[in-house]
Amino acid sequence: MKEAEFIQQIKSNQGLIRKLAGLYASDPEDLKDLCQEVIYQAWKGIDSFRGDAKFSTWLYRLALNTIFSIKRKKNLVDYKDPSTYNHPIVDESATNRLQSEYLYKAIRQLSETDRAIISLHLDGYGNSEIADITGINANHVGVKLYRIKNELSQKLK
Partner 1 sequence: MNLQDLWKQQENTGGEITDLLQTSHWKKGGHAYPLKKSRRTCSTPCLLQ
Dihedral, 73, 60, 157, 85 alpha carbons, nearest 10 = 40
Q: In angstroms, what is the minimal distance from the CB of 100 to partner 1?
A: 4
Find the part of the chain contacting partner 1 (CB under 8 A) among 39-47, 61-69, 76-84, 127-135: 39-47
Q: Minimal CA–CA distance to 59: which of 1, 128, 143?
A: 1
Q: Applying CB under 8 A, does 100 fall inside the site for partner 1?
A: yes
Q: Applying CB under 8 A, does 88 fall inside the site for partner 1?
A: no
Find the part of the chain contacting partner 1 (CB under 8 A) among 36-44, 47-55, 61-69, 126-134: 36-44
Residue 128: CA atoms inside 13 Å, Cβ hemisphere, count?
0
Question: How many Å apart are CA 128 and CA 120, to the nearest integer?
Answer: 11
Angle between helices 28-44 and 55-74 (to 10 degrees): 120
Where does this chain bind partner 1 (CB under 8 A)?
Answer: 7, 10-11, 14-19, 22, 29, 32-33, 35-37, 39-40, 43-44, 96-97, 99-101, 103-104, 119, 122-124, 152
